[in-house]
Amino acid sequence: MTINIDRCYCEQKTFAYLIELARREKLNVRDLAGREGCGTHCGWCIAYLRRGLRTGETAFDYLLPKEGLDSEDAAV
C-alpha cells in the first residue's frame, strides 16, 4: 500500500501551495494556520507543514506523529 499525503485535507489546500506561500511571506506554521485555516481543524497536517517548511517537501509517503500548533515552530 502506498500513501501520498500532499495537503491539508480539512481546508483542501496543498502543501505545495502552503509551503510556497510560507516561504515567500516568511510565515511559520502558526501564521499559516491563521491565514489559511490549515491546522485549525483536526490538526493532522501540522507536522507535515512543519517538516515541509524545514525540508521543502510538499508530498509525503510516510506518516508523522501528530503535533499541535503549540509545538516548537520550525524556523522559516
| Residues in touch with ligand FES (CB under 6 A) | 8-11, 38-39, 41-45
- Cβ atoms 45, 23 nearer than 8 A: no
Number of H helices, E strands in the chain: 3, 2
Q: Which H/E stretch holds residue 13?
A: strand 13-14
Q: Which is nearer to ligand FES, 8 or 53 (CB)?
A: 8
Q: How far is the CB of 59 from ligand FES (least distance, A)?
A: 14
Q: Which is nearer to ligand FES, 8 or 22 (CB)?
A: 8
Grid cell of 17 as nine digits? 501551495
Q: How far is the CB of 26 from ligand FES (least distance, A)?
A: 21
